[in-house]
Chain A
Amino acid sequence: MAEKLSAVRQSRGRSSESWGHNIKKYWPYYLMVLPGFIYFIIFKFIPMLGSVIAFEDYNIIGGIFNSEWVGLKHFRALFTYEDFHRILRNTMILGFCKTILIFPIPVILSLMLNEVRGLKLKKAIQTAIYIPYFLSWVIVGGLIFDLFGIGGLFNNVRNALGMESILVMQKESWFRPIFVLSSIWKDAGWGTVVYMAAMSGIDPSLYESAAMDGASRFQRMRHITFPLLIPTIITLFLLNIGNFLELGFDQVFNLQTPMTYSVSDIFDTYVYRVGIQQAQYSFTTAVGLFQSVVGLALVLIFNKLSQKTSEGGLW
């Protein structure tokens, strides 16, 4: 297998050997790839051509082919939108929160979980932290509004401590902390799954020899588990950064109120107002395209960076 793969690699370098020859020689491999290839063509690449409606005034009667071509009109509309800097800023800030504050939590959680000795206790904790992932944001949003409402737990505690009730859901300054905390509560547990899997693949003899050399539990975590997790972390980080501007409509929409628009209005909620509610398909596509291009650029940049600084990136 390895030999043949290296042969494939070599043959690419030699211009004398043509593709056709290569295909003839290794046709079973090409045959195996074919279904996946067709899948991507049909379900990923062809629909991508639909993105041309970002450059048209799409209407449902004319369809993709008979709608008026308007060039960059929708992109201009987006960039000259009155509150463009506001939604861009909010999206970036929440994106940074997601990458810097939320992303590391599953790593820390799984490192801690890995040190739990009792198997039953470990399973119980894992189940408990997985559960919130399966609730939809509509439900979680409702829970959060109740939690912070008058008569909710938060204000009851405040009242018991002799403080006034405060409606934090309508306070700008509370939105970002609530966004971060609710993300962690809901998704961090589920995020540990991949890391736990990666950790179970670490050779136990490494720990044994380290223990024999007198390494403490913390040292073993610091010098064995964590370094071996880094490739997984980088992969997940790169996959994550591609969605930097796509924070997910559900969470923000279900947590925001008009009083917190100034910090919570992001591309996705804006697109919802403008595009989906009014069936402005072209404009919505333009915004989506913009988000994807930024995401792609970030993935390329960070992939290069990680290739330079560590063993490798996504590819």
Chain B
Amino acid sequence: MKAKKVMALVLAGILTVSAFAGCGENGDPKESGSKSVSENGTVELEVWNCNTGFLPCEKDSELYNFYKELTGVGIIQPYVEWNGGSNYQQQLNLKISAGEMPDLFLPVNGMEADLIKNGALLDLTDILPEKAPHLWESVPEEVWDIVRSYDPTGEGRIYGVPNVRGFTVYSGLIRQDWLDALDLEMPTTQDEFVEVLRAFKEDDPNGNGMADEIPTGGREEAKWMDHLFAMYGLAMQEGAPDWDIYDGELTYAGVTENMKDALQFIRGLYEEGLLDPETLLNDKAGWEGKINSDRVGVCYHWAESATAFSEAMKTATGTEPDWAVLPAISAPGYESFYTTKQVTGLEWVVKNTEDEAVIDAVMKVLDAYGNPDLWDDFYYGIEGMHSEKVNGKLQKKADDKGTQQNLIINPANSLADLEFKVEMFKDMEAADESRTWALDQAIRDLEEVQQYGKVVAGDGMPSSVYEGYPDILNRTLYVEYASKIITGEYDIDKFDEFVEKWYASGGEEVTKAAREWYAKTQ
């Protein structure tokens, strides 16, 4: 009897202790986190965004002062390891659950939906046009409409600043110098394309006397070979099937007839040895290693990567390659294009607060971020740390994670247009003429690929449409079937089984949610 009483007491004790322990976790997000306003009246904000290993930014450090000059606000960024976003997400969740949400931050993996529902984010709908007019103008009206569709309450309020890329970034890339060496024309039909691949494989375009050429290929999970899928009019980004209008309705590209035909074609290439046999095992380093060792004829990447690839190969092998745009080649009966998405999610959301001083400070930062006159400053960072003057022109220094602070406000990557991008490359040329041959490739390719780009209907779709169906979001089923069909493990007819399974395992519901979202943006 006594023992039971003691046990009861102990249990009660545990519960009390844990109740106290838990108290810290449910503070009101609106009130928690005190604002520090320094003596001279500068408001300080804690800002979180991607940092791939650069130094953090403490109060009164160089970058702190640099940003203060540009925005009038003190910006403090603690070091948060990025690690593909997963570590960042964990740290951020931890902070938020402790009631210490950063003032301004990058949300990841659709986490904003939950935060909005809980009233934790600031409603920007009315204050942005008023207090951050530059930003309001820099983002096209139709993109703001997409942001409105993110509001999970369905009221169409704006809770974040989108990451906008108003031009086509991705492109198939082909070795123009290989074509020239073998006296071949740039392919324009699928048959010609396959002929070119065969020639690359057999006629030793790299001239080393060995049949070590890999005509084309990609990476594990059927990623980074979109140029092959594109032939069938498939919306796709870095290997992830996207959403577009098929048969008159918004549909997941992965379950269309187009996809079946594309897989059939790619399977043929694999069988013939025109696709890297290790395609489905290549990781980033593995595949890019092959590209940069003068063995790959056609690959898929950002158009501007032509420069990086060319310079890397020159360093590694001494060869100066010419990576040209592979036109979007249509398979018979299909209309080819390179998928363009203007909106790639939210770049910034703001902590909900009633403190006017903080709101004003955040708006100052966002206005500067959206001001084209300041984009150069944000891009080049601090002279001496991030860039240096060469021939009288500012030039970015090579990344040095040991000495450079993280340039957290980066409109060049998340807001700027094609013109700005091209200007950047031209500036680099002016600074160092010996790089002209490689930089010219990026400029040429960036401009050339625009004609093949098409903005897909799924542009800007929030990942919340996948809520409850992580396997669809992760495309687990698609990757498994696509990989096995390409390697010949599965017959092409298995594709129909995949479509059925996909719809049955949540595809139905996701499609419905996606179409509802699409209707809202129209």
**What residues of chain A have their CB less than 8 Å away from a CB belonging to chain B?**
18-20, 41, 45-46, 49, 59-66, 82-83, 145, 149-150, 165, 167, 169-170, 172, 257-259, 261-262, 273-274, 276-280
- The answer to whether A46 touches B18, judged by C-beta atoms less than 8 angstroms apart, is yes
- The answer to whether B114 touches A61, judged by C-beta atoms less than 8 angstroms apart, is yes
- The answer to whether B86 touches A277, judged by C-beta atoms less than 8 angstroms apart, is yes
Contact of A273 among B96, B474, B487 (CB under 8 A): B474
Known: A83-B505, A167-B277. 7 other contacts (CB 8 A): A62-B26, A150-B277, A170-B489, A257-B280, A273-B470, A277-B109, A279-B111
Given contacts A170-B483, A170-B487, A257-B280, contact A64 B25 (CB under 8 A): yes
- The answer to whether A274 touches B470, judged by C-beta atoms less than 8 angstroms apart, is yes
Given contacts A19-B3, A59-B114, A279-B109, contact A258 B277 (CB under 8 A): no
- The answer to whether A261 touches B480, judged by C-beta atoms less than 8 angstroms apart, is yes
Q: How far is the CA of A20 from the CA of B3 in the complex (A)?
A: 10
Q: Which residues of chain A have C-beta atoms less than 8 A from B403's C-beta?
A: none
Contact of B483 among A64, A149, A165, A257 (CB under 8 A): A257
- The answer to whether B22 touches A82, judged by C-beta atoms less than 8 angstroms apart, is no
Question: Quick check: is B501 within 8 A (CB to CB) of the other chain?
Answer: yes
Question: Quick check: is B258 within 8 A (CB to CB) of the other chain?
Answer: no
- The answer to whether A46 touches B277, judged by C-beta atoms less than 8 angstroms apart, is no
Q: Can you name 22 A-B pairs with beta carbons within 8 Å?
A: A49-B15, A49-B18, A60-B93, A64-B25, A82-B501, A82-B506, A83-B505, A145-B281, A167-B281, A170-B281, A170-B487, A257-B483, A258-B221, A258-B480, A258-B483, A259-B280, A262-B480, A273-B470, A273-B476, A276-B86, A277-B109, A278-B110
Q: How far is the CA of A83 from the CA of B505 in the complex (A)?
A: 9
Chain A residue nearest to B475 (CB atoms) is: A258
Q: Which residues of chain B have C-beta atoms less than 8 A from A60's C-beta?
A: 93, 96-97, 114
Question: Quick check: is B120 within 8 A (CB to CB) of the other chain?
Answer: yes
Contact of B26 among A66, A82, A165 (CB under 8 A): A66
Q: Which residues of chain A have C-beta atoms less than 8 A from B221's C-beta?
A: 258
CB distance from B11 to the nearest CB of A (A): 9
Question: Quick check: is B118 within 8 A (CB to CB) of the other chain?
Answer: yes
Q: How far is the CA of A273 from the CA of B320 in the complex (A)?
A: 42
Q: Which 9 A-B pairs have the closest CB atoms?
A: A63-B25, A61-B118, A63-B26, A60-B97, A82-B505, A258-B479, A274-B470, A258-B483, A261-B480
Q: Which residues of chain A have C-beta atoms less than 8 A from B484's C-beta?
A: 258-259
Q: How far is the CA of A44 from the CA of B97 in the complex (A)?
A: 21
Question: Quick check: is B423 within 8 A (CB to CB) of the other chain?
Answer: no
- The answer to whether A259 touches B96, judged by C-beta atoms less than 8 angstroms apart, is no
Question: Quick check: is B21 within 8 A (CB to CB) of the other chain?
Answer: yes
Q: Which residues of chain B have C-beta atoms less than 8 A from A20's C-beta?
A: 2
**Majority secondary structure of chain A interface residues (helix, strand, loop or mixed):** helix
- The answer to whether B470 touches A150, judged by C-beta atoms less than 8 angstroms apart, is no
CB distance from A27 to the nearest CB of B (A): 15
- The answer to whether B26 touches A65, judged by C-beta atoms less than 8 angstroms apart, is yes
Question: Quick check: is B473 within 8 A (CB to CB) of the other chain?
Answer: yes
Q: How large is the interface on B (under 10, 10 to 19, 20 to 34, 35 or more residues)?
A: 35 or more
Given contacts A170-B487, A258-B479, A261-B476, contact A63 B22 (CB under 8 A): yes
- The answer to whether A167 touches B480, judged by C-beta atoms less than 8 angstroms apart, is no
Q: Which residues of chain A have C-beta atoms less than 8 A from B86's C-beta?
A: 276-277
Q: How far is the CA of A82 from the CA of B477 in the complex (A)?
A: 11
Chain A residue nearest to B110 (CB atoms) is: A278
CB distance from A301 to the nearest CB of B (A): 26
- The answer to whether A19 touches B6, judged by C-beta atoms less than 8 angstroms apart, is yes
**Majority secondary structure of chain B interface residues (helix, strand, loop or mixed):** helix
Q: How far is the CA of A61 from the CA of B93 in the complex (A)?
A: 9
Contact of A279 among B22, B93, B281 (CB under 8 A): B93
Q: Which residues of chain A have C-beta atoms less than 8 A from B479's C-beta?
A: 258
Q: How far is the CA of A44 from the CA of B506 in the complex (A)?
A: 37
Q: Which residues of chain B have C-beta atoms less than 8 A from A64's C-beta?
A: 22, 25-26
- The answer to whether B2 touches A65, judged by C-beta atoms less than 8 angstroms apart, is no
Chain A residue nearest to B28 (CB atoms) is: A61
Given contacts A19-B6, A46-B17, contact A277 B474 (CB under 8 A): yes
CB distance from B349 to the nearest CB of A (A): 14
Chain B residue nearest to A42 (CB atoms) is: B17
Q: How far is the CA of A75 from the CA of B110 in the complex (A)?
A: 24
- The answer to whether B115 touches A45, judged by C-beta atoms less than 8 angstroms apart, is no
Q: How far is the CA of A185 from the CA of B146 in the complex (A)?
A: 53
- The answer to whether B281 touches A149, judged by C-beta atoms less than 8 angstroms apart, is yes
CB distance from B15 to the nearest CB of A (A): 8
Question: Quick check: is B185 within 8 A (CB to CB) of the other chain?
Answer: no
CB distance from A142 to the nearest CB of B (A): 9
CB distance from B273 to the nearest CB of A (A): 11
Question: Quick check: is B519 within 8 A (CB to CB) of the other chain?
Answer: no
Q: How far is the CA of A64 from the CA of B19 in the complex (A)?
A: 10
Q: How far is the CA of A45 from the CA of B6 in the complex (A)?
A: 16
Q: Which residues of chain A have C-beta atoms less than 8 A from B398's C-beta?
A: none
Given contacts A170-B487, A258-B479, contact A49 B281 (CB under 8 A): no
Chain A residue nearest to B479 (CB atoms) is: A258
Q: How far is the CA of A170 from the CA of B483 in the complex (A)?
A: 9
Q: Which residues of chain A have C-beta atoms less than 8 A from B471's C-beta?
A: 82-83, 273-274
Q: How far is the CA of A49 from the CA of B506 in the complex (A)?
A: 32
Q: How far is the CA of A83 from the CA of B506 in the complex (A)?
A: 12
Q: Which residues of chain A have C-beta atoms less than 8 A from B210's C-beta?
A: none
Contact of A46 among B21, B93, B118 (CB under 8 A): B21
Given contacts A18-B2, A167-B277, contact A277 B470 (CB under 8 A): yes
